[in-house]
Amino acid sequence: MNSQLRRVLSALTGTLLSVFGMAASAADMPAVGAMAPEFQLPDQHGKPRQLTEWRGKWVVLYFYPKDDTPGCTEEACTFRDDLEQLTALDAQVVGISVDTSESHKAFAEKYKLPFPLLADAKADVATRYGALSNWLVIKLAKRYTYLIDPQGKVAKTYLSVDTSRHSADIVRDLRKFKLTKL
């Protein structure tokens, strides 16, 4: 799927969510400059992980709809492929969806994803971050990303993501943030 079609579909999905009252409002999301909401969720190995364990690093906290689907796979694999650059910028990538730890484990193994994928099976964290699409019988995380600074504050939000270049956009933004800190 080309990026123009992907953007059109993303805009259409956002419009439909708004029409049916399922889009998150700005009030539902942590604001830039606010402390990122804390959480504890199991990773793909069942190990409980907390946001505070990455304090002192930049955190790329990305929510995604579903393991092993085309857009989610592309996004995860670009993070994997850019991980050396992200690590050099002192960033930790963390993915979250409402899939199970078992699903995350299979997804991570299939695509050799070397970063934590957290299972938000009850959708509590996605809800607190304004990143939940709730169609009553189906709940999916929205494709939102929060760039969290080393002190635990939201530095930037990404609410419209092109999966093919999202990781590169974050690398660029991290470089800008690092330059402004000098």
Catalytic residue among 24, 29, 36, 72: 72
Question: Distance between CA atoms of 9 and 37, rounded to whole angstroms?
Answer: 30
Strand, coil or helix: what is 180?
helix
Question: Distance between CA atoms of 65 and 135, rounded to whole angstroms?
Answer: 13
Quick check: is 77 catalytic? no
Torsion of CA 160, 162, 166, 172, to 10 degrees: -80
Burial classification of residue 100, based on how many CB atoms lie within 10 Å of its CB (0-12 exposed, 13-18 middle, 19 or more buried): middle
Q: How many helices (H) and strands (E) would you count in the chain?
A: 6, 9
What six digits make up the tokens of 78? Answer: 């670009």
b/e per residue 167-182 (b: at least 16 CB within 10 A): bebbbebbeeeeeeee
Active site residue ranges: 72
